[in-house]
Amino acid sequence: MKFKNTLPGFTFLALIFLFGCENCEMTDPMISSYITLKIVDAYGKNLVNPSTGPYYPDSVKASSKDNSSFSFEIQESTAQTETHYISTPSFNEMGKTELYLHLNHLDTDTLLITYKSVKQKCGAPYFVYTGFIFNGKNIAQTGILKLVK
């Protein structure tokens, strides 16, 4: 008699375990996105130009304050008429990464990137950007980050 009473309970628990959890094989985990940078003057004119400068695409380099590895490269696009860079910073527990942008051998600027970690059921945590500060000034987080010199 007790078996008949407990069978529906076990069936219900089995259904919860089978169908109540997210199927990680069918779900693509979120990943941290890259940022796109553009170096401009106060009027929005791009300062990186392959023929007239004042900064040249191949001379712009980046390094991190803590010497961690990260990606930083020219964004290649045939439709693009201005030079942009894409970067994925290294993420850490402190929630901030400081990049040094070496525009030429005399000019270095600082970009502070802040972010938070988001846990997910399937896959490793990913990071969401919470702020950008270029040479001590906040930058709007919409689309391409315009680094005003």
Q: Using one digit for the tens of pLDDT, what is the confidence trace for 90-110? A: 999 899 999 999 999 899 999
18 within some domain: no
89 within some domain: yes
Give the integer Cα–Cα distance in Å for 24 and 118. Answer: 17
1 within some domain: no
Residues 27-47, mean pLDDT to the nearest whole number: 86
pTM of the predicted protein model: 0.77
Count up the domains in the chain and report the number: 1
Alpha carbons within 13 A on the beta-carbon side of 61: 8
Domain housing 69: 29-148
5 within some domain: no
Sign of the alpha-carbon torsion through 51, 55, 59, 64: negative
